[in-house]
Amino acid sequence: MESYCIYGASGHGKVILEILENLGQDIHCFYDDNINKTSLLNYEVTSDVSIFAIESVCWIIGIGNNQTRKKIAENLSLKYGVAIDKRANVSKRTQIGSGTVIMPGVTINSSTIIGKHAIFNTNSSIDHDCIIGDYVHISPNAALCGGIIVGEGAHIGAGAVLIPGIKIGKWATIGAGAVIVRDVPEFSIFVGNPGRLKSKGTKEK
């Protein structure tokens, strides 16, 4: 059994808390930089940065925003764990990076490679041989067919469907319910069925 701290006393943090509770892990506390937050679901919330010096705990970043999660992870050299819900179906041949969260009802099939600090939200489905980059967020009920590559920081919206073998560029956004039938350039936003370009950015994250 590990002892965990969760960075972010938020709704996303609540889900991570319950995943860890169901796994029988010890919850040390939440950390949040809002000094007015002192408890969440009967657990302590601290804003004291000395908590980062405790070497015996694992951390999960409980913040859904991909850019914020990346900034925190890069600024804090902590021991990051993983949180995989008991009700998820994850192939034993899946590689999972540190800090990643896999929520209830998720299916991840054989030979998928997952980066660091990714989020697989409720009931999302990832088929075989996908490559999912660092800081990606796969929203509830999104479905990725086999052999898809998703670049760093991309956000796949709720209920989106991605056909086999396509590539989603880094920091791209796929709108809720979109059906993506071709490659998506980095930093761009695709929406609709079939997916079409809504806007394209060039700024590095």
Residues annotated catalytic, as ranges: 128
Residue 145 tokens read as 């067919």
Residue 121 has phi, psi (to 5 degrees) of: -80, 175
